[in-house]
């Protein structure tokens, strides 16, 4: 398949019915991954995913927004991100990745590497994006897929409820630029008419659009994928601390 996400494909997925889901429980995938990372938050329960589960890791596709092109090649703005058509299309792609375990489908919803290199002030921003953020994102997608289990084909995405937005000023959190941040959004879905949800640990804004920066946890365990606070019901977005 082509790594490029064409706008027409993304738009079509935005209006299509997404299918997948599962029981409300936390999951940690004990799979190869980053060697660095702290312990998961104590409030977040975890279970081990069988080692036969694989990440299906592949070279990261170019970050292409639903509007077309690479948004990370453009400068940051102070626009507050909104749940517009682009966001809905990218969340539809993300949900397809969760229900199938095909990580590349979710890349349009993931914070672009080019934007991250502009935003951060680390020794090697690109390596941090690849070796830490993307590696854990891949594992977290697989953990979410494992959570859905055999009922994945029966689940339907209802909404992604975004937590409150807050502005992170330049110089904070090892950033050279300011950006909007939202913690603990909720992915709400149904299976057989029953509502379940799990969290998105952190969304970051770039040019007025939200992107996933941490899916399962901002401080994930080494080499493991995490599902953030899965539960029956929609849950409550927002709260918590972090960058």
Give the tens place of pLDDT for each residue, 112-160. Answer: 999 999 999 888 999 999 999 999 999 999 999 999 999 998 899 999 9
* Percent of the chain whose pLDDT exceeds 70: 72
pLDDT at residue 226 is higher than 70: yes
* Percent of the chain whose pLDDT exceeds 90: 63
Say how many CA atoms lie within 13 Å of 43 toward its Cβ: 11
C-alpha 228/C-alpha 214 separation (Å) is 10
Q: How confident is the model at residue 243 (pLDDT cuts 50, 70, 90)?
A: confident
Helices and strands, number each (H, E), in the chain? 5, 9
Q: How confident is the model at residue 67 (pLDDT cuts 50, 70, 90)?
A: low
């Amino acid at each position: 398949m082509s790594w490029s996400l064409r706008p027409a494909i993304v738009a079509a997925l935005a209006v299509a019915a997404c299918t997948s889901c599962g029981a409300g429980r936390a999951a940690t995938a004990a799979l190869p991954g980053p060697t660095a990372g702290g312990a998961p938050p104590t409030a977040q329960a975890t279970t081990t995913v069988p080692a036969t589960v694989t990440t299906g890791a592949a070279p990261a596709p170019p970050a292409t927004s639903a509007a077309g092109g690479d948004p990370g090649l453009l400068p940051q703005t102070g626009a507050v991100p909104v749940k517009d058509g682009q966001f809905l299309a990218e969340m539809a792609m993300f949900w397809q990745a969760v229900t199938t375990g095909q990580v590349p489908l979710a890349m349009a919803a993931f914070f672009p590497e080019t934007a991250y290199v502009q935003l951060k002030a680390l020794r090697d921003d690109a390596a941090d994006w690849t070796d830490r953020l993307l590696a854990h994102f891949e594992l977290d997608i697989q953990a979410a897929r494992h959570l859905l289990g055999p009922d994945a084909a029966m689940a339907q995405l209802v909404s992604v409820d975004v937590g409150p937005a807050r502005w992170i000023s330049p110089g904070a959190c090892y950033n050279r630029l300011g950006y909007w941040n939202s913690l603990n959004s909720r992915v709400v879905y149904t299976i057989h008419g029953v509502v379940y949800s799990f969290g998105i640990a952190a969304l970051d804004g770039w040019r007025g659009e939200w992107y996933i920066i941490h899916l399962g946890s901002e401080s994930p365990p080494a080499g493991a994928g995490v599902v953030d606070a899965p539960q029956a019901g929609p849950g409550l977005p927002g709260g918590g601390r972090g960058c």
